Amino acid sequence: MLGAISGQVLTPLAGDLTGDAHRGRIIGAVGSGTLTGILASRTISGFLAGAAGWRTIFALAAVVAVLLAVLLYHAIPPLAPRTRMPYPQLIASIGAVVMRERAARWTLVLAATGFATFSLFWTALTFLLSSPPFRYPVPVIGLFGLASLAGVLSGLHGGRLHDRGWSLPATGTAWILALGAFVVAAFAGRSVVLIITAAIMIDIALQTQALLNRARLFALSHEARSRLNTAPATGNFIAAAIGSAAATTLWSAGGWTAVTITGTALCCFALTVWALGRRGPLAIRFAMTDSCNGPQRHLPSTARHSHVALGTLPSRTRHKTLAHSPRVHFSATCPDTPRAAAGWSRSSSR
pLDDT digits (tens, 9 = 90+) for 196-218: 999 999 988 998 898 889 888 87
- Going by the DSSP 8-state scheme, the letter that residue 21 receives in this structure is G
Name the percent of the chain lying above pLDDT 90. 34
- The arithmetic mean of pLDDT across residues 278-285, rounded, is 81
CATH fourth-level superfamily of 3-277: MFS general substrate transporter like domains (1.20.1250.20)
Q: What is the DSSP secondary-structure string of 125-172?
A: HHHHHHSTTT---HHHHHHHHHHTTHHHHHHHHHHHHHHTT-HHHHHH
Average pLDDT value over all residues in the chain: 76
d(CA 22, CA 215): 11
Rounded to 10°, the helix 23-52/192-218 angle is 140
Task: Please give the helix or strand (H or E) that residue 50 lies within, else none.
Answer: helix 23-52
288 DSSP 8-state letter: E
pLDDT of residue 279: 86
How far are the Cα atoms of 50, 59, 68 from residue 65, in angstroms, in the given order? 22, 10, 5
Confidence of residue 79 (pLDDT cuts 50, 70, 90): confident
pLDDT for 325 beyond 50:
no
pLDDT value, residue 150: 67
Give the end-to-end CA distance of the chain in Å, rounded to a whole number: 52
Q: Which residue has the higher pLDDT, 283 or 59?
A: 59
CA dist 231 and 108 (Å) reads 8
Chain segment 41-67, per-residue pLDDT in tens: 767 777 787 788 878 888 888 898 899
pTM above 0.85, yes or no: no
Mean pLDDT of 260-271: 98
Q: Where in the chain is the domain with CATH 1.20.1250.20?
A: 3-277
Task: Check residue 191 and give its pLDDT.
Answer: 93
- CA-closest candidate to residue 116, choices 206, 242, 233: 242
CA diameter of the chain = 73
271, 245, 4, 181: CA torsion to nearest 10: -40
Q: Which amino acid is at 24?
A: G
- Any idea what DSSP says for residue 202? H
